[in-house]
Chain A
Amino acid sequence: MEEDMLRRRADAAGGEASDAGSLAGLLGCVAAGDRAAFRRLYDLVAPRLFGVALRIVGERGLAADALQDAFIQVLNQSARFDPARGSAEAWLVSLVRYRALDIVRGRRREVLGFEPAEAPLEEPDALALLSADEEGAALRTCLEALAAERRRLIELAFIDGFSQAELAARFRLPLGTVKSSIRRGLLKLRECLGR
């Protein structure tokens, strides 16, 4: 079946370049009100997006909340997705990350003493997974050109949802130093990626 094929292909490639076109196509169908396409999209990307949300919020129930909110937004905003501006994958990941970040930001205010989960130590070849396509490979090259600590700040913020204050605590750096180090790192990335 076509659906199985899509899924297998996505699994095989870790969901990168090979299904980029089909994700954008599915979003187009969702925008046109196709409920079956909405379901296919969910089946195709939910495990990846759930992984991303779970890493940030650290709890399955909250990660499910983030995904639910994000998919409601996908349905309401799919017409706003513009393939010319970026990949469907990046758009979906962003929706989920913002919801997950909303949750941890809210939770930090509500629950006194909430500590984010300890982030795993970085493995030597951690960035190898990025090299599956051109965009990822370029990002890897540019990340590896950054000073190790600066790169780690950016990874922990993006992947694990660490706030600046948490990064400052973790690296025992003043908050202002964390902020300016991240900003310098981001400027270098922009320059290195050249777009």
Chain B
Amino acid sequence: MSGSGDERDLAAAEYVLGTLDAESAEALARAAEADPAVAAAIAAWERRLGPLARLVPPVDPPADLWPRIAAATAPATPPRPRFFARAWQSLGFWRLATGGALAFAALLAGFMVLRQPARPPVGPMYMASIMPMGSHKPMFVAEMRPGRGLMVRALAPMTVAQGKAFELWAKPAGAKTMTALGMVPASGRRVRLAANVGDGTELMISIEPARGAPGGAPSGPMLYEGRLTRVD
């Protein structure tokens, strides 16, 4: 193996071992997407070192984990972007939606008081699969537990034009304006945003200048949307 090949193989080994720093690991993962030789080097090290994982005793995962995974991967109810866009502009829709949501919340609250089982200590969990308008394939996932912020990430590395970036927006149920929550890396790296938004919040992602939309309002097209719903 040549000198540079050896260097590349060692980088793959360190990637699998986990000792590369976050930036180098991300760069190598990207290189593996484009270069089958890098991907093969990584797979070979996964095969060599993989048996080490057997030294770790199995632990039963939390009982709510499968429902969460099932919810995150379920084919979503089809969104209706055109109706959605028109209704969004209409005051009547919002009056109706707010009234309906309040009535439903009151009903739900009553129901939950009666039905509430022992609550898990971590607090409720909310999740949104964020999908392209008019499609069902989740591109981003957002998760929130009160007090722990909103964790958002692209499910796979995405490409965005030079000088542009993805920005996440929230429209809480009943609100009329959108609030900027922060930038979401296209790389697929998870970010924790200091947002504390509630059930039913509409999350949307637009393409903005790399440093964020000027003036605190979206300037680019809204490309992806999803609704934060309680999953536990």
What is the interface of chain A, defined by CB distance below 8 A to chain B? Answer: 14-16, 38-39, 42, 46-48, 50-52, 54-56, 60-61, 63-65, 67-69, 71-73, 75-76, 82, 85-87, 89-91, 93-94, 97-98, 101-103, 105-106, 109-110, 126-127, 129-130, 132-133, 135-136, 139, 154-155, 157-159, 161-164, 167, 179, 182-183, 186-187, 189-190, 193, 195
The answer on a CB contact under 8 Å between B50 and A76 is no
Could you list which residues of chain B lie within 8 angstroms of chain A, going by C-beta atoms?
9-10, 13-14, 16-19, 21-22, 25, 29, 40, 43-44, 46-62, 65-66, 68-70, 72-73, 122, 138, 141, 143, 145, 151, 153, 155-156, 189-192
CB closest chain-B residue, reference A82:
B43
**Cα of A73 to Cα of B156 in the assembled complex, Å:** 8
Contact (Cβ within 8 A) A130 B52: yes
The contact of B54 among A61, A63, A69, A136, by CB within 8 Å, is: A136
Of A46, A67, A126, A157, the residue contacting B17 (CB under 8 A) is: A157
Residue in A47, A91, A163 whose CB lies within 8 Å of B60? A47
| Interface pair A186/B14, CB less than 8 Å apart | yes
Question: By the criterion CB–CB under 8 Å, are B62 and A64 in contact?
Answer: yes
**Chain A's nearest CB lies how many Å from the CB of B182?**
13
Q: Are A73 and B18 within 8 A (Cβ)? A: no
Residues of A within 8 A of B55 (CB): 126-127, 129-130, 155, 159
Given contacts A47-B61, A72-B155, A73-B155, contact A183 B47 (CB under 8 A): no
Give the residue of A69, A71, A94, A164 whose beta carbon is less than 8 angstroms from that of B50: A94
Q: Is the interface of A mostly helix, strand, loop or mixed?
A: helix
- Given A73-B155, A93-B53, A94-B50, does the pair A190, B13 have CB atoms closer than 8 Å? yes
Interface of chain B, helix or strand or loop or mixed?
helix
**Known contacts A54-B59, A76-B155, A183-B10; 5 further A-B pairs (Cβ under 8 A):** A47-B58, A50-B59, A61-B145, A86-B47, A135-B50
| Residue in contact with A139 in the complex, picked from B9, B48, B143, CB distance below 8 Å | B48
B19 to chain A, nearest CB (A): 5
